[in-house]
Structure 1
């Protein structure tokens, strides 16, 4: 078993200014994207966002692919970082998964937590992770879980 590690957040890149009418608004907070555990994380994140006055995030298949791929890669290559051993970061993974255009993004990772509630509790207890979760400018999320490694990817078009 993997010992719980402190989750880490990656700062988001500078945002491109966008008019409110150009932003897409997700219609549903949780879809059939991902596993039950991953969808629980989306639901819990959206509950926190609702308390903060943010709109719900849409669980996006492309972002889920980027998140799950990163979690799986961390397991396979035995590392815990936002940047892969090959030098790829969340922005690279998001683009490779086909989420485009990207105006802003952020990523949270964690390891060792066994439940959606446990990982969300840890992320909400960390200012950097909480900031990503409660950033109202994000419209989409991807969550990936593999062998107790978690990745949340946030983005907006």
Structure 2
């Protein structure tokens, strides 16, 4: 019997032009599909939170690291606090936050840990592939499926030839 493989493992043809903002929204849609499949509410998408995520992806690309803490020591709470304000303000408010990060590639062959070779050639494939990867990691999966999150923002930077850095920021309240 032939082994079934996901569509995003097709290694032929030419890739769709990479558009970071469209890719961010593909990831958002894929995350909400996963959440609703697990009986959770969809997350709203907040542009101001996406800007925080995008700035972190830019910082990682510029400073040559991939991580939740910048070389200067800033973490997700520090980054959000620069862009949010106390109660009564029109700026985004939150009482809990979380973050997922991914380093991926677009229109370039990449070998996964299990030996599978993939090449994302559409934004749909890329978005679903990133979320699929996160769902294979217990920490990332836990973040995606946390019921206290109410909103997210995603920031993507294409770095070098095909490398793509993704930051996903969640906000919500303690429950």
Same fold (TM over 0.5): yes
Residues of 2 paired with 1:74 and 1:67: CA distance? 11
1:138 to 149, 158, 164: 149
Residues of 2 paired with 1:62 and 1:133: CA distance? 19
Structure 1 unaligned residues grouped into runs of 5+: 1-33
Q: Secondary structure at the match of 2:36?
A: helix
Deviates more, 1:65-74 or 1:113-122: 113-122
Q: Secondary structure at the match of 2:155?
A: strand
CA drift at 1:76:
0.5
State the TM-score, normalized to the length of structure 1.
0.75
Question: Which residue of structure 1 aligns with residue 167 of structure 2?
Answer: 151
Does residue 81 of structure 2 align to residue 95 of structure 1? yes
CA drift at 1:108:
0.3
Q: Within 5 Å, which residues of 2 pair with 1:56-67?
A: 56-67=42-53
Cα shift readout 1:56-115 (whole Å, capped 9, x = no counterpart): 101111110110000110001000110011111001111212254321111000102431
Task: Kindly report the root-mean-square deviation, in angstroms, between the aligned alpha carbons of the 2 structures.
Answer: 1.4
Question: Which residue of structure 2 aligns with residue 16 of structure 1?
Answer: none
Q: Within 5 Å, which residues of 2 pair with 1:5-154?
A: 35-98=21-84, 100-114=92-106, 115-147=126-158, 148-154=164-170
State the TM-score, normalized to the length of structure 2.
0.67
Alpha-carbon contact 2:48-2:92 (below 8 Å) kept? no
Residues of 2 paired with 1:50 and 1:112: CA distance? 25
Alpha-carbon contact 1:65-1:97 (below 8 Å) kept? no
Aligned residues: 124
Structure 2 unaligned residues grouped into runs of 5+: 1-19, 85-90, 107-125, 159-163
Alpha-carbon contact 1:113-1:119 (below 8 Å) kept? no
